[in-house]
With several copies, the nearest count.
Chain A
Amino acid sequence: MVELCGLELAHPIINGSGTFDAIAARRAFGEQLLERFPFAAFVSKTVTLTPREGNPPPRLWELAGGLINSIGLPNKGLAGFLAEDLPQLAELPVPVIVNVMGFSRQEVAELVQACSARPEVAALELNVSCPNVETGLVMGADPDELARLLARVRPLTDKPLIVKLTPNASDVVAVARAAQDAGASALSLINTLRGMALDPRSGEPWLGGVTGGVSGPAVRAVALAQVHAVCGAVQLPVIGMGGVQRGRDALDLIRAGARAVAVGTESFRDPAAGDRVAAELELLSASADGAQLVSPQPF
């Protein structure tokens, strides 16, 4: 059992926002999805105030040990999400965390208020990787900008408010401190690193969205550094993520200070990755010296 800002989780492994669509997965895998749901909590894909189609394809580019995505946050918008998706998500056997993003403080406020009013929602996660259209600043890259956002929206809900930090910041620790001071309940990191790919034929940007976000094992070491730095600087519980494939990767993030760990890209390779990572982690943690299991052949 893991306690994460009031939520009781059966184990520390949850999904990264936007990397598992429980409703689609139920179509693909049927009811066994509910019987063996791979995560201890479900985090929704980012919900915005108005519906979004997302970016034009191509949206993916494979990298050494990872991929770039330029999905562009397609979603039904707040009203559509609350009416159609949330009731279905409520059937999952785990707490539902709704990830939201707004392009202004007012938008975020509306999202937080509306989601908070719904009993199916166990917690909110704020995606602050986008620019505030009013100030031009990326909400999560500037400590003051983030403080002002949280000052506006924190009072609007009693539910846990998790802030998901962007890794594309000069000083992620300063942003984390600002989030703590402004009343965040927890932090999650890392979101994707800004990256790009060119079409080998034309030399033009491959992705419809021109740039995209890098995820997967390629970012694991960057994630670990940021989680370690943030956990050393704040008291808030932290959800660590970035390139987790194995129990050992989750153990690293926990050793760096994370309370819970999210699996993202690895679920694309193995839809039951969350489950597998949780089992491997338990095995590692159970052994007095977890690490021995990692290196099966000490000389």
Chain B
Amino acid sequence: MTAPLGRRGARITARERYGAYVVLRCADADGPTPAAGQFYMLSCAAGWGGGEGERPFLPRAFSVLRACPASAPLELEFLVEDVGPGTRRLSELLPGEELLLTGPFGAGFRPPHRGRRPLLVGGGVGLAPLAIWQDQLGPDTTALLGFRDAMHAPGAELMSAPRVATEDGSAGHRGLVTELLAAELEADPQAEVYACGPPAMLEAIRALCAELELPAQLALESGMACGFGACFGCVVPTREGYVRLCLEGPVLDAHLLETAAVAGAGH
């Protein structure tokens, strides 16, 4: 999906808390329906600046969590975790206030290879692109989600019947979601993995899938200034050299990567 040229306003229509997360819903009257795995660059029409260190200044990248093309105008949902001045300001937005956005940008998920069963694996806010992907693949698609603790576990409500791991054992399996994944893959060698989460988790998944010779599509993060290929800031190293994640990604084939632990990404 190509994006409208220029930044546009989108009114917040709803805001809901899920533990440590906020889901923002907005009306994107002028935008096209995004593909699963695509992202937008978001900022606020008012008060974007003056936080910690006088930031934010640049817009912030957000995977689309959910798109409701049936509604007119198109409604988009984003999942926000407050980790710094940009996400703080965004998570304070109230219904009626205005979001500024550009996008949708980037290359999203590709359908599973013939005969492969899609398996969604997410950590924390990494569930966002998986939710819209599950919407498209169907509610039966297996989803494994990892969260840090009880504050974050409510994020699981955003997907259909996920299996959950928490590091503190407050919900589901005590431990890492990669442990759930390992068990799952052992049981099903026909899986195709779709994953999004912190760099260390993605790298563990990449390594595991490489070992088992399973296809995996990883939605990565890196620091982005523009989202449309203008700044060359978002590059990640691949076997084919640096690629701009905003153009060639954010979803990359795992076999393209020597590592999914991207410098400067994550928090």
Contacts and interface: CB of A to CB of B under 8 A. Distances in A.
Interface of A: 18-21, 23-25, 27-30, 32-33, 36, 38, 45, 53-54, 56-67, 69, 71, 74, 206, 208, 216-217, 245-246, 248-249, 265, 267-272, 275-276, 295, 297-299
Contact of A267 (B198, B230, B234): B230
Interface string B1-32: 01111110000000000000000000000000
A298 B222 contact: no
Contact of A28 (B56, B225, B242, B247): B247
B53 interface: yes
A245 to B, nearest CB: 7
Contacts of A265: 225
A67 B49 CA distance: 13
Interface string B52-64: 0111111100000
Contacts of A19: 230-231
Contacts of A62: 55-58
B19 to A, nearest CB: 13
Contact of A246 (B5, B53, B237): B53
6 contacts: A28-B3, A54-B235, A61-B223, A67-B57, A69-B225, A271-B6
B229 to A, nearest CB: 3
Contacts of A276: 6
Nearest to B199: A299
Given A27-B229, A33-B5, A270-B7, A60 B267 contact: no
A30 to B, nearest CB: 4
Interface in B81-121: 81-83, 102, 105
Contacts of B49: 64-65
Interface string B229-244: 1111111110001101
B231 A71 contact: yes
Contact of B231 (A30, A58, A69, A217): A69
Scoring A53, A61, A297 by chain B CB atoms within 10 A of each residue's CB, the highest score goes to A297
A270 B6 contact: yes
A158 to B, nearest CB: 31
B267 A299 contact: yes
A67 B105 CA distance: 22
Contacts of B227: 28
A216 B49 CA distance: 13
A64 B228 contact: no
Interface residues of B, number: 49
B59 A206 contact: no
A249 B228 CA distance: 24
A66 B53 CA distance: 12
Nearest to A32: B5
A297 B267 contact: yes
Given A59-B235, A268-B225, A299 B198 contact: yes
A271 B232 contact: no
Nearest to A45: B232
Interface stretch (B128-136, B186-194, B211-219, B258-266): B258-266
Given A29-B4, A60-B231, A297-B83, A267 B53 contact: no
A71 B229 contact: no
B53 A57 contact: no
A298 to B, nearest CB: 7
B124 interface: yes
B267 A29 contact: no
Contacts of A57: 222-223, 233-237, 242, 262-264
Contact of A53 (B58, B81, B242): B242
B241 A53 contact: yes
A298 B105 CA distance: 27
Contact of B57 (A45, A58, A64, A69): A64
Contact of B7 (A65, A245, A272): A272
Contact of B263 (A36, A58, A248, A299): A58
A27 B198 contact: no
B255 interface: no
Given A59-B233, A71-B233, A217-B53, 4 more contacts: A24-B247, A30-B2, A54-B235, A299-B123
B230 A271 contact: yes
A56 B241 CA distance: 11
B52 to A, nearest CB: 8
Contacts of B237: 56-57
B43 interface: yes
Contacts of B235: 54, 57, 59, 74
Contacts of A32: 2, 4-5
Contacts of A74: 232, 235, 242
B3 A268 contact: no
B251 to A, nearest CB: 16
B54 A217 contact: yes
Contacts of B57: 62-67, 216-217, 269
Contacts of B174: none
Contacts of A27: 2, 229, 247
